[in-house]
Amino acid sequence: MKSQIFSLDGKVKGSMEIPKFFEQKGREDIVKKVFLANPKRQTYGAFERAGMEVSAHGIFKHRRRAYKGQYGIGIARTPAKVVSHRGTRFTRVGAFAANTRGGRESHPPKISKIWGGEINKKESSKALMSAIAISNSIDSLKNYYPIVDFSDISLPLIVEDKISEVKKAKEIKQALSKILGKAASIAEKKVLLVSEKPIRASNLGFDVVKTSELNIRNLAPSGMPGRFIIFTESSMKELGKRWH
């Protein structure tokens, strides 16, 4: 299957062969599974020794008639620190335990907790290919962008590599408006531009990513595939090499 290549003036420059996975039926369930298995949430946790850096822990000898003992004098067996003493009589304050003031938490959050799940390489690659294939469907785009007119769009949309040499964001948006036609308003939205060469212009208003850095959060930011993707010539060739 071949797709058209557009120049920056909105005209068809030529055509090129696209990878076969563009024609496949995408698996939304796998996309969702990989998305949930790679959460953006940052790990967090309490200090491991929080509330436990006191001399109360292990201070009591748990046997009867022991010096500084607890048993037989009518006090709780909660770990405590000694405030004052007179002979063998002690004034104590509970510490260390979760039921004491300033003590540790019962079950504090731990930084070792793994929020995501494990996904094998084949499944991860399948999710990326599925997300791209679903974005190659006009029906999926209409669900993602319900008020945009895609009647004169050819998918996948490929532009020449010269777009990376443009220095002004305004010129890039004007070029995309010529290519997109009735769907020109989408250039102001969160579309994705996949380019092998770095884009010089800044403040584009949409995301730019290299082929090697593509992940499920680029292609389906909310877990739902169907994001409008613009490819450059070199990025399409790189996709063909990656998933031939």
Over the stretch 104-125, which tens digit does the pLDDT of each residue have?
Answer: 999 999 988 888 888 888 999 9
Compute the distance between CA of residue 123 and CA of residue 125 in angstroms, rounded to an integer.
5
Same structural domain for residues 85 and 35?
Answer: no
Average pLDDT over residues 159-178: 86
The residue from 63, 98, 114 where one domain ends is 114
Contact residues for 183 (Cβ-Cβ < 8 A; gap 6+): 148, 149, 150, 152, 153
Please give the helix or strand (H or E) that residue 143 lies within, else none.
helix 138-144
Same structural domain for residues 53 and 156?
Answer: no
Same structural domain for residues 173 and 237?
Answer: yes
- What pLDDT does residue 109 have? 92
The residue from 83, 114, 145 where one domain ends is 114
Same structural domain for residues 34 and 64?
Answer: no
- What pLDDT does residue 30 have? 93
CATH number at 151 reads: 3.40.1370.10
Same structural domain for residues 190 and 212?
Answer: yes
- What pLDDT does residue 92 have? 86
Of 145 and 187, the structure prediction assigns the larger pLDDT to 145
Q: Which structural domain, as residue segments, surrounds residue 155? A: 2-41+116-242
Compute the distance between CA of residue 212 and CA of residue 238 in angstroms, rounded to an integer.
9
- What pLDDT does residue 129 have? 92
The residue from 114, 140, 155 where one domain ends is 114
Same structural domain for residues 34 and 126?
Answer: yes
Same structural domain for residues 232 and 193?
Answer: yes
Same structural domain for residues 48 and 76?
Answer: yes
Residue-wise pLDDT tens digits, 19-45 = 888 888 889 999 999 998 888 888 899
Query: Rounded mean pLDDT of the chain?
Result: 85
Angstrom CA distances, 99 to 50, 75, 160, 207, stand at 14, 15, 67, 51
Q: Answer yes or no: is pLDDT of 180 > 60.
A: yes
Same structural domain for residues 28 and 126?
Answer: yes
Report percent pLDDT > 90 for the chain: 18
Domain count of the chain? 2
Contact residues for 67 (Cβ-Cβ < 8 A; gap 6+): 61, 88
Same structural domain for residues 175 and 222?
Answer: yes
Residue-wise pLDDT tens digits, 183-232 = 888 876 778 999 988 887 777 778 889 988 999 999 998 888 988 999 99
- What pLDDT does residue 57 have? 59
- What pLDDT does residue 78 have? 84
- What pLDDT does residue 131 have? 93
Same structural domain for residues 89 and 163?
Answer: no
Same structural domain for residues 109 and 204?
Answer: no
pTM: 0.73
